[in-house]
Every structure is written in C-alpha cells, then in structure tokens.
Structure 1
Amino acid sequence: MNRNITINPGRICQPLGAVMAFLGVRGAMPLIHGSQGCSTYMRFQITRHFREPVNIASSSLNEATVVYGGEKNLLKAIRTVEENYKPEVIGVISGCLSETIGDDINRIVRIYRDAGSESRIIPVSTPGFKGSHVDGYDMAVTSILRSIAGDPSDQIERVNVINGIMSPADTYELKSILRSMGTEFLMITDTSESLDEPFNGDPYFITRHGTPISKIEGASNSMATLSLGGCKGGRVLEGRYGIKNIGLEIPAGLENTDRFIGKLMELFDASISPSLMRDRGRLIDAMIDAHQYTYGRNVAIFTDPGYAVAITSMVLEMGMTPSAVFTGSESIYFNEKISQLQKEYGFKCMAMSGADIFDLQSYISEKPIDVLIGNSYCGRAAEENGIPLMRVGFPVYDRLGSQRIRIAGYSGGIEFVDSLTNLIIERYYDEGYEISDVSDADESCCIR
C-alpha cells in the first residue's frame, strides 16, 4: 500500500546513531545542538536498552534561539562541557531544531577552536527529520575519521573494523575472534565495555572505555578497513588515503562467520584457531539438533539493515523460510543483500527497507507467520497476532540483558539457534498432537 505518512516508525532519528558512535570513543562527550528534550530522549532510549548511565549534553535551544539563532547557546554549551567534564573529544551533533533554523555548526565550532580549545571538537550534521539512527552512526564515524585520522606514515599489518550499531556482546565477540586469529585490529568505535560496564562504585560522566583518540589518529596506517553490515565510514579512508575498504556482512551464523574469518586468513596469511574450529562444529551440531523444530517454519524479521541481512542468512541455514524481511532504514545494502539471498536459496519474500511497524502489522495479520524476530517495537504486533517474538536489535526495552544479546560469531550463532528453537518449542511443541484420554494404564501414554 502506497502511503505518504509513516505509522509507528521502526527507526530512531539520526542524532541517536551519532551519539552511539561517540559512546564508542574513550573520553568522549556527545553534545546535542538542539532543545533539552532531544538529549533527554537520547538518554532515555539508550539507558532503557543498555541499563547504563549515559551523559549527553545539550545547547538547550528555546523559543528565542529559534528566531535569533543558537550560536551563543552552542558556544556556551561547549565551554561548559570543557570546563566541567574535561573530555578528550566533544561530538557536536545537530538536531531537528538547529538544522531547521539553519545554524552552521561547522562555522560555530571553528569560532570556538580559534579562541583556543583543549578538546577535540567534532561537528556532525544529523538532521533528525530524515534518515535514521543507522545513517547518524555513519555520519558520525565519517566525521570522526575526517577530523582525527592523520596522514599515513608507516603501514601496519592491521585492519580497521567499523562494526556499526551492534550490541556490546556482539562487539566483544567480534574482538574475541580477531584476537584468537592473532590479528592486529583497530575498532573505530567500541562499545563492548562503555555500554556494558562492570560496577565498581566509581562515578563517571564521560566514557572511560572505547577506542582512544590516539589510536584513531593512526587509522590511515592500517592495510585495510572491514566495514560490516553496510557501514559507510571506511570510504573516507579509502578515498583520502587509498586504504582498501572491504564490505562484509555481520559475522553471524555459519556462512557469514566463515566469510569473515576467511577474509582475515587472506589478509594476514593466518590459520583458524582450534577454539574457533571447535565452536564452528558446535554450531553445526546445534543446527542439526534444532532442525526438526525449525525446518519449514515461516519467520518475519524487522530490525536494522545489517542485523536483518545477517539474521535472514541464519534462519535460512536453519531450514526456515523468511516470509518477510523489513527494516526501518532506507538501505541499498539491505535491498542488494536480501535479493542475493533470494537468488542463492531460491525463495521469495516480502522485503522492504524504509518500512514501519504498520507495514509489518499489515503483513503478519494476513500471512501465516510462526515466529517474529525484531526489537521491542514489534511487541504489540506480535501479541495481537499471537506470534512469539524473539527480541534482537535496538531498542529492546521490555526485557533485561539487552546489552548481552549475542548472535555474532560461531558462539553467538549457537545462542541464537538455542534461543530461537526454544521459543518455537515453547509455542508449538504440542501442535498437531492430541493426548489420548484413555483410562487404561497400558494405553494412557499414547499420543494420536
């Protein structure tokens, strides 16, 4: 159905994605150039998903600044953040209001720099009225690399990794794979600890973990960049310094993880570790064990483009049929990869980028769907249609432990297979069977 409106969007605005990128940089403080409500909304969304305290500054635009411009507010906000928190990096992120009134944040930041600044200030244009959080992350990473990555000196046998908005558990698993292969790597943003931090009682206001600025400065010395799930930031290093940008799917499931590890073996002339080979065998065994429950089941998927492609590949490996695959973000990567999977596996599905929850609801209310995989926004649609929901992606706010949801790597694949299969067993275990009401002891256990 063609509509000129969005009903219950399945995405979040660009500034939130930019905030997520800066939370993966050590010593960073995001600053939203907009109203106080913008930064409050970001803190609310991130905190209820990750269950971690997050600080996001604001230039606090109001009715007067809409008329006269927000330059003074932004200059004051940057100064306040510098004096009170002393961050290494301030990410100045535009919002709907500042973009609408036309504030030039690049010019305002230059004015502040010229006056003398102790922090690295990185402006990012993220109009919240178009695009999604996925685009905002790409814009922030692009700005970070443009502002911080220096000219190359001596090339290092190392890869840059741009992983996108992944759960901390998936990012940690990704790093574990790279370490087990004995490869040197640089995560351009790393939220594996900054958004899943152990409690030690010490208060903090800026990120204590993540990738240090000093390392990002040397990103141009790496021999290649691995851009996962359609991330676009690696194009900056390729265009400016000739650092090869290699696009890969999120390494989740068998084939995608094989491809990721195969690329590492090719780049570093390395061999796969025994522990990874063992985990690979365990994943295959888990799929075999689950096959009787998952084969032929119809599944609908609604999540970010990178995760949607990876999960579609995983359920196909499990013998399931992805009847519908939706993502809230407009994504060429999503369209191309889902089309490739349809040709490779010989199936047809409803695939839509830039979809909303109304699109999902309309589809699953008319089609036989056995299980839905998506974020918490899908919860009501699943409940109304009596479909079990496996919660994956962002945001997941109605369950605890969202930061520990893991599907990446062979180990994450095992957890995915177990969780999805158990959800199916819980809902459909007795489907098609009728317990006999025979009172005779010899026949009381019969099922027909």
Structure 2
Amino acid sequence: MTEKKFAVINPCKICQPMGAIFALMGVKNSMPLIHGSHGCSTYMRFQLGRHFKEAVNVASSSMSEANAVLGGEENLKHAIRNVSKIYGPEIIGVTTSCLSETIGDDVEGIIRLFKTQNDDLPEIVPISTPSYKHTHVEGYDSTVKALVENLATPSKPNSKLNVITGMVSPGDIAETKRILREMGIESIILTDTSESMDAPFDGEVSFVSSAGTTVEELKDTANSFATISLCKHANSAAKFLHEAYGIKSVSPYLPIGLQSTDEFMNELCKLTNKEIPEQITRERGKLIDAMIDAHQHNFGRKVAIYGDPDVVVGFTRFVLELGMIPSIVCTGSESKTFVEDIKAVTKDSKHKPVILAPGDLYDLHQEIKKSKVDLLIGNSYGSRIAGAENIPLIRMGFPIYDRVGAQRITCVGYTAGIRLVDTITNTILDRYFDEFGWALNENTEVDHGEFESSNCIN
C-alpha cells in the first residue's frame, strides 16, 4: 500500500462532540447543548437515534455566518435560557464545536458571568470538544472529567466505588452493574446509559434523560474510596479525582474475554476485600467450556478488528484466547497507549498484527486485500469492506445502524464472553463449515506450538 499522508478516506472515528453527547445521555435529567451551528446537533441526534433506536434530544445555540464574525455569546445565553425554561433540566452540558472553538469564544467565561447574573439556572458544565481535533473517544473522556471537575464535592466517605465505563453499550453497563451487585459493591457509574438509552416503552415523553447518574451522585464522586476505569482512554476523570482528592485509581483492560475479565474481577477484590461469588465463578467456568467446545472451529482463523482503541485491544486479546489470529487492528485514535497495549497482548503470539493507529477504513481495506482475513469485527462502517471482500462482519462498537438491538449487544464480562464465543463460532461455521470433513490446505503448515500455547487449553 502506498503511504497516504494527504487525507483521511472513510474515517474510523467520529468528532469529539459525539462522545460528549454519548456521555451526557447517561446523566439523569440532563440536556446536552452544542455551542455551534444547528447542523451539529442534528447530526448527533441522527447518529445516536439510529444506533440506540431511542429519541435523543440535543439543543443548539444555532450559530450562523454572522456569529462566526461577531461571536456567539448572545446565542449561547439565549440557548441556555430557552433550554432552562422549556425543558427544565437539572443539568446542562455545554459542548463546543469546530465553529465556536475556531473563533475563540470563551465558553467557560460566558457561562460563569451568565450564572452570576441569573440565580435560577440549573447546573451548567462547560466542555471543550473541538471537532477538528482528536475523536469521539477523547470527547467522552473530556466530558466525564468536566462533570467531576465542576461538580465533585468532598464531604464524608460514602464507601462507594466510582466506575468509569467508557463508550460501551447500555447492555455492557447493565452487566457491569449486575456484577457489582453480585459482589455487594455499592457504586457510582460514570455515566449510566443502561436505562436512558435502553428504556422500556411506557407511553411517556421525556425531553431530558429519564434515567442515569444523578447530579448528587456526580457530586459524591469525591467521597468514594476508589475509581476503576474500564477503558484506559476514558480515565482522565479518575486521574483528576486522584490528584484532587487522593482517590485511588486503577485502569485495567476492558474486560472482554477470559483473561481481561479475570483481571477486572481481581481488581475489584483488591479494592473491596470481597470474594468472587459462586455465581460469577460458574459463569467463568461456562465461558471456558464454550471456548473449548469452539476451539476446533476457530483455531487459525484470521481476524481484522477496528473501532475504539480499548474495544479493539479487548477483542484482540479475546480472539487470541480462541486460537484465532488478529491479523490487522485499526483505530482512528492516535494513541501510543493503544500501540503499546496491542504489542503487550500479542507478545506471546507468533503472529504480529498490522497496527493502524491512527488509521482509516481505506487503510484497513488495503491491508485486508493483502492479508485475506476470514472475519471482520467492528461497527457498521465496515459493511462495505465486508461486502466487497465477501468476508463476514460481526458488528460491535459504535455506530451500528444497519441492525437492531445495538443497545443490547454486550462484550463485557464472562456471560457476554459466552455469547461472543457462540456468535463468532457460528459466523465462522455459517461461512466456512466443511460438511465433508477437514478441508486441509496442503500448503498450510500446522503450528502445533501455537496450538499448545492457546489460552483456552491451558
């Protein structure tokens, strides 16, 4: 592939405000407000709505060409006043955009002055998310940090564990909460979309998030005994709480598969001095059993994985446990941590993946043409590659817009691991099953050493 430096073709990322809105959707009675053009908020609503199949409301300061010259201060004030009056949120998260960042609007200063002039406003949190810089992953991270920076209030210890989930699905957050309940751990989830973005139909219409992390819980984060970040790229709030209030911070791998979930459970035990309950131990055993059952079908299959950095690292480690080969890994984020983690989880493997960081889907496609992989794992943006190369695609991550149930797709924990083993194996069988026996390629040498080192038969 000729190295291209001039452009990004079919990006493997979205802009920062998308991650910011994603995080704010997990705060109860919140309203996101984008300080930018009306099209910015429309795009966010469209993208989130078709992924979650839920109504998503995002306000806008509706900046125009004139505001690009004269500034958007008055627009922002009007927007805050209108949102407060019409929707009555408990908190407004004001995110910036490429327009407001480029012209240099002092959003934090505008909000501070406006609040001194109006004592009837809800909590207002300014969040810097320039669209032309970084990705939605950093936007999510910046938002969670801004929430605790502006709201965390030290008082007395609450015996709770802060859990920063990262941009995982509502189903993953619900599973994380279940694991914590099984272990008897009280927690504050930052932020909790498990009910707001996977809500039951009750006939009611709510223009603000109907469930999620409360403002009081956000204030109480300063009183927790520790913070665990499931995603290394979403741990800025944990670092802030550690530096500001001395709260212990840990950040393991996203608990996808056997080993990463083991490490997550061990961290919970260390932090809380609690033992792993029998129910979760049984779930672990079932996952190992599923991996053994499926090993003969998955062994040696080549996989290309793309998406958010922590999700890609998690799946890279998991497919290695299944005896598969992660041939190509791609993320839109420029992250040294991602590259280091990929090298760490593949250090004992004979096969080293091609690492694209930052990469786009054009780069991914070119590498797939050279490597001839058997399976794709990633979001819906890879469907064109899957169709062009006749490769099955397992949809994971964000966004998923060509299937229903994205909010219920899970990858975190042992139980999700069992479902993933079934999904991956059945996808392989559906496309490649040899009904007449073993179709051994005479030109392929079987590496018995690689088989013996596979994690699921240790």
Is the shorter-chain TM-score for this pair beyond 0.5, marking a shared fold?
yes
The equivalent of 1:226 in structure 2 is 228
Q: 2:402 aligns to what SS in structure 1?
A: coil
Residue identity matched to 1:167: S
| Aligned-partner Cα distance in 1 for 2:45–2:221 | 30
Q: Structure 1, unaligned stretches of length 5 or more? A: 436-448
Q: Give the aligned residue type for 1:362.
A: Q
Q: Give the one of 68, 79, 86 matched to 1:84.
A: 86
Q: Look up the SS of the partner of 1:299 in the other structure.
A: strand
Partner of 1:340: 344
- Taking the aligned partners of 1:27 and 1:295, their CA distance within structure 2 comes to 48
Report the CA distance between 1:256 and its aligned residue. 0.8
Q: CA deviation at 1:4?
A: 2.5
Q: Which residue of 2 aligns with 1:313?
A: 317
Separation in structure 1 between the aligned mates of residue 44 and residue 387 of structure 2, nearest angstrom: 27
Residue 383 of structure 1 pairs with residue 380 of structure 2: no
Q: What's the offset of the Cα at 1:229?
A: 1.6
- Normalising by structure 2, we get a TM-score of 0.93
Offset at 1:118?
2.6
TM-score by length of 1: 0.95
CA distance in 1 between partners of 2:262 and 2:270 (Å): 12
Q: Output the amino acid matched with 2:359.
A: A
Q: Could you tell me how far apart the structure 2 residues matched to 1:210 and 1:355 are?
A: 33
How far has the Cα of 1:433 moved from its partner?
A: 6.0
Q: Structure 1 residue 430: deviation in Å?
A: 2.7
- Residue number in structure 2 paired with 1:60: 62
By how many angstroms is 1:382 displaced? 1.1
Q: Which residue pairs with 2:214 in the alignment? A: 212
Is structure 2 residue 135 aligned with structure 1 residue 132?
Answer: yes
Query: Structure 1, residues 213-266: CA drift from partner, whole Å, max 9, x if none?
Result: 101111111111101121122111011111111011111111111111111111
Amino acid at match of 1:407: C
SS at match of 1:26: coil
8 Å CA contact retained: 2:29, 2:210: yes
List gaps (5 residues or longer) in structure 2: 440-458
Residue 146 of structure 2 corresponds to 143
Which residue is equivalent to 1:45? 47
Alpha-carbon distance in structure 1 between the residues aligned to 2:335 and 2:26: 23
Match of 1:247 in 2: 251
> Deviations for 1:250-294, whole angstroms, at most 9, x for unmatched residues?
111111111111111111111111111111111011111111110
1:139-218 maps to which residues of 2 (within 5 A)? 139-151=142-154, 153-218=155-220
* 1:183 Cα deviation after fit: 1.0
Matched, 1:409 2:407: no
C-alpha distance in structure 1 between counterparts of 2:13 and 2:19, whole Å? 10
1:332-369 CA deviation, whole Å, 9 max, x = no partner?
A: 32112101012143431101222100011100011120
Deviations 1:291-349 (A, max 9, x none): 11100100000010111111111101100010011111122321121010121434311
Whether 1:10 and 2:12 are equivalent positions in the alignment is yes
Residue 369 of structure 2 is matched in structure 1 by 365
Aligned equivalents of 2:264, 2:85: Cα separation in 1: 44
Partner of 1:397: 401
Count of residues in correspondence between the two structures: 434
Residue 265 of structure 1 contacts residue 271 of structure 1 at CA under 8 Å; is this kept in 2?
Answer: yes
Give the secondary-structure state (helix, strand or coil) at the position aligned to 1:127: coil
Q: CA deviation at 1:158?
A: 2.2
**Residue matched to 2:454:** none
Aligned AA (1:123): P
Residue 274 (structure 1) aligns with: 278
Q: What is the SS of the residue equivalent to 1:319?
A: coil
Q: Distance in 2 between matches of 1:347 and 1:112?
A: 58
> Amino acid of the residue matched to residue 327 of structure 1?
T
Q: Which residue number in structure 1 is paired with residue 126 of structure 2? A: 123
- For 2:194 and 2:333, locate their aligned partners in 1 and report how far apart those are by CA, in whole Å: 24
Distance 1:188 1:368 in 2: 40
Residue type at the aligned position of 2:109: R
Distance change >3 Å, CA 345–CA 159, structure 1 → 2: farther
For residue 447 of structure 2, what is the aligned residue in structure 1? none
Distance in 2, Cα, partners of 1:431 & 1:148:
61
Q: Distance in 1 between matches of 2:346 and 2:292?
A: 23
**Which moved further from structure 2: 342-351 or 238-247?**
342-351
Asked if structure 2 preserves the Cα contact closer than 8 Å seen for 1:149 and 1:218, the reply is: yes
Aligned-CA RMSD value: 1.4
Q: Distance in 1 between matches of 2:363 and 2:434?
A: 31
**Contact residue 32 and residue 92 of structure 1 kept, 8 A:** yes
Secondary structure at 1:345 match in 2: coil
CA distance in 1, matches of 2:176, 2:62: 38
Per-residue CA distance 1:400-433 (angstroms, 9 max, x = gap): 1111111110000011111111111000013886
Equivalent residue letter for 2:149:
R
The CA distance in 1 between the partners of 2:260 and 2:29, in whole Å, is 33
1:260 counterpart = 2:264: yes
8 Å contact from structure 1 (residues 157, 268) kept in 2: no
Contact in 1 for aligned 2:317/2:346 (Cα 8 Å): no
